[in-house]
Amino acid sequence: MAGEATYRGRFAPSPTGPLHFGSLVAAVGSYLDARAQGGEWLVRMEDVDTPRNVPGAADGILATLEAYGFEWDGPVLWQSTRFAAYAEALQRLIDGGLAYGCACSRKEIADSGSHPAIDGGLAYPGTCRNGLPAGRVARAWRLRVNDEALAFVDRLQGTVTQHLQSDVGDFVLRRADGLFAYQLAVAVDDEFQAISDVVRGADLLASTPRQIWLQRCLGYATPRYAHLPVASNAAGEKLSKQTLAPALTPGQAGPTLVRALAFLGQTVPAELAQAPLAEIWAWAHAHWDFAAMPRRKSIPLATLP
Ligand code: GLU
């Protein structure tokens, strides 16, 4: 029917290591939200940061998703095949005067009295925004931002507001090593795949205003966002390869899936942990309750039953 809203969600892992409980939670949340709304669910392999890719990790992630019973729509989109699209988007921003070449090294930015950015690193002080200093060449490409309030309403975390200029500064679209930045790749691909709903971990909440700004600069639609609580260890660190989160074991799929559902606030019957995987998914699809999800940014795993 013309005008009917189409739900399209996605799960976009980076192949920097095996799937762990934290990434499973994001996959489960986005998958069930998509299916509950009769939507499609796509998988995108975010292998754009090639030096960080771990050989075999992408295939391992896809095999684990299959072993856990996820069924995605269409072929996997590999960001490593999308360089031409990112280059075209960057060129459009440069041609429009929205992106510019930057000669600054990390050390020069650190020495220029810049203040910390909202999610680590340093806010770019704008050294090259009015042209490269004499005799310098562009190493990276940055997007111009302004300091107006940029706000969006997250379905779980409520209203999020940033002032991009003071919170992050003009940010990198193409790095000095020639690689395209995650922020650009994700904006281009969410548009390319016509994603209506981004459901992902709250560790990416602070990136979202940059992505919305990029969408506006490129004339893209802005999806709805829901940022799920991330699983943290007892020290409050997000589960990741760096914090040595254990890889998921396919043999434990049922009980681990049940733990992920419980983590997302679903009231799972205790006996379901021993049920066949298909039965757990049938229960999850029938009982998925978005409103029951905790509206928190992180939850230590030790607090789980
Ligand atoms: N590839 C990103 C990650 O694994 C997720 C990006 C996203 O969902 O937008 O952290």
Please, are residues 105 and 136 in contact by the beta-carbon 8 Å criterion?
no
Distance 200 CA to ligand 1 centre (A): 7
Dihedral, CA of residue 233, residue 234, residue 236 and residue 240, to nearest 10: -20
Which atom of ligand 1 lies at the shortest distance from residue 26's CA? 8
Give the pLDDT of residue 180: 98
- The response to whether residue 12 sits with its C-beta less than 6 Å from ligand 1 reads yes
Catalytic residue numbers read 241
Distance 131 CA to ligand 1 centre (A): 32
Distance 269 CA to ligand 1 centre (A): 31
The span from the first CA to the last CA of the chain, in angstroms, equals 45
Q: What is the pLDDT along the chain (305 residues), one digit of tens a residue?
A: 444 569 999 999 999 999 999 999 999 999 999 999 999 999 999 999 999 999 999 999 999 999 999 999 999 999 999 999 999 999 999 999 999 999 999 999 999 888 999 988 899 999 999 999 999 999 999 999 999 999 999 999 999 999 999 999 999 999 999 999 999 999 999 999 999 999 999 999 999 999 999 999 999 999 999 999 998 877 777 777 666 577 888 788 999 999 999 999 999 999 999 999 999 999 999 999 999 999 999 998 865 54
Give the pLDDT of residue 29: 98
Spatial distance between the Cα atoms of 70 and 5, rounded to a whole number of angstroms: 24
Give the pLDDT of residue 2: 47
Which atom of ligand 1 lies at the shortest distance from residue 16's CA? 4
Phi, psi at 95, each rounded to 5°: -60, -35
- The response to whether residue 14 sits with its C-beta less than 6 Å from ligand 1 reads yes
- The residue whose CB lies within 8 Å of the most ligand 1 atoms, and thus the one to mutate among 45, 48, 183, 204, is 204
Residue nearest to atom 8 of ligand 1 (CA): 12
- The residue whose CB lies within 8 Å of the most ligand 1 atoms, and thus the one to mutate among 119, 186, 225, is 186
Give the pLDDT of residue 261: 97
- The response to whether residue 170 sits with its C-beta less than 6 Å from ligand 1 reads no
Q: Count of CB atoms within 10 A of residue 38's CB? A: 8
Domains, the chain, ordered by start:
8-81+194-200+229-303 (3.40.50.620), 83-182 (3.90.800.10)
- The response to whether residue 239 sits with its C-beta less than 6 Å from ligand 1 reads no
